Amino acid sequence: MVFYPQERIGLFIDGSNLYAAARALNFDIDYKRLLNVFAAKGHLIRAFYYTALVEDQEYSPIRPLIDWLDYNGYTMVTKPTKEFTDASGRRKIKGNMDIELAIDVMEMAEHLDHIVLFSGDGDFRRLVEAVQRRGTRVTVVSTVRSQPPMVADELRRQADTFIELQELQPSISRVGSNREERQENGYDHPTNTDDILENA
């Protein structure tokens, strides 16, 4: 990882995208460890976490994670999902956070030297290019080792640096296995909420 001690760093985490990438690599993320890894690289200014919420559920499986992150150094950005019926008449749920993430990156760019984007979504290529023109370095974190790869080739090429998520695994993966310990350390991530979100 190419970081400089004096750099002001901002993390922008596309929650469903990172969750899908980690799951494809068969590990769970410990969000406390993840924060510590990047805080040790420079001046960590802000860590944003983006996720959509299914609001009409009595219990949202992602709510404990959101609450934990909110109290432990992350800035949460959420919005309700939208329900629609596709051409085949199937009920689908959509929760796309791309606009929210892009606006925050553009607004924060002048206060940061280095943006770390946890997403493989090719739609972010133009965003990366725009902040690079302002003099901000961009690192993309995703994986090419899953089948299929989770990062778009054009996004990977545009980034100043690409970090393979699997190489971060020893530093950011969950170590405990019991449920109480998982919740305490912020990595008891749901297994079904992000599965139903369609990022279109």
How many structural domains does the chain have? 1
Residue with tokens 């739609």: 123
Q: Mean per-residue pLDDT for 115-133?
A: 97
Q: Are 159 and 128 in contact (CB under 8 A)?
A: yes
Residue 109: CATH number of its domain: 3.40.50.1010
128-173 residue pLDDT tens: 999 999 999 999 999 999 999 999 999 999 999 999 999 999 999 9
pLDDT surpassing 80 at residue 23: yes
Domain for residue 197, yes or no? no
22 pLDDT exceeds 50? yes
Please state, for a pLDDT cut of 70, what percent of the chain lies above it: 83
pTM score, whole prediction: 0.84
Lowest mean pLDDT among 51-55, 93-97, 98-102, 111-115: 93-97
- Residue 178, in any domain of the structure: yes
Residue 184 has a pLDDT of: 57
Q: Is the pLDDT of residue 190 over 50?
A: no
Q: Confirm whether 62 is domain-assigned.
A: yes
pLDDT, residue 92, reads: 66
Is residue 168 one of the residues assigned to a domain?
Answer: yes
Position 92 in a domain: yes
Domain that holds residue 149: 8-190
Closest C-alpha among 82, 86, 106, 108 to residue 96: 82
* Domain assignment present for 3: no
* Gyration radius from the chain CA atoms: 16
Structural domain contains residue 198: no
Is the Cβ–Cβ distance between 155 and 161 less than 8 Å?
Answer: no
Residue at 125 is within a domain: yes
Cβ of 197: how many Cβ atoms within 10 Å? Answer: 23
pLDDT for the residue 93:
65
HEC assignment per residue over the chain: CCCCCCCEEEEEEEHHHHHHHHHHCCCCECHHHHHHHHHCCCEEEEEEEEEEECCCCCCCCCHHHHHHHHHCCCEEEEEECEEEECCCCCEEEECCCHHHHHHHHHHHHHHCCEEEEECCCHHHHHHHHHHHHCCCEEEEEECCCCCCCCCCHHHHHHCCEEEEHHHHHHHHECCCCCHHHHHHCCCCCCCCHHHHEECC
Q: For residues 132 and 161, is the Cβ–Cβ distance under 8 A?
A: no
